[in-house]
Amino acid sequence: MHYTMEWLKDGNTEVMEYYRLAFGKWRKVFEDIQTVSVDELARRIHLEQIGHFETHCGGRFEGQEVMAWSAIAYFYTIESGFDGNEANVKKLIEAWKESGVSIEVHHHFREAIRAYDAENL
């Protein structure tokens, strides 16, 4: 979350828009997560790296961070954790591994999984 923290520290107000766009994109990508195949979900994730996140969420490296962190955060609330979304998160993690996104995006995603304690759902 280095880019996000820098943006916040510097008072960059665009960071809210980047995450708003990210959650909006994930809403569409994940709308059928309970029924979509892991392979299809992996394909969608791969296409969105450059097609959306690197283009609309702060730039190449910044967008990669926004992509990974917002994907896992999409299914989490402070009040309930992943309650009711465990199967969705498991499918997301499996699809992410197969997605073919860049090594940097995989790195950010692994950090997010650890931060949200989603490794052992």
Longest dimension (CA), the chain: 41
Q: 0.75 exceeded by the pTM?
A: yes
Provide the token pair at 59: 């730039």
**Of 62, 85, 66, nearest in space to 25 by CA:** 66
pLDDT tens digit string along 34-78? 999 999 999 999 999 999 999 999 999 999 999 999 999 999 999
Nearest residue to 101 via CA among 63, 58, 75: 63
Mean pLDDT of 101-110: 98
Look up residue 44 and give its amino acid.
R
What is the per-residue DSSP string for 90-120? HHHHHHHHHS---HHHHHHHHHHHHHTT-TT
Can you give the pLDDT at residue 21?
Answer: 98
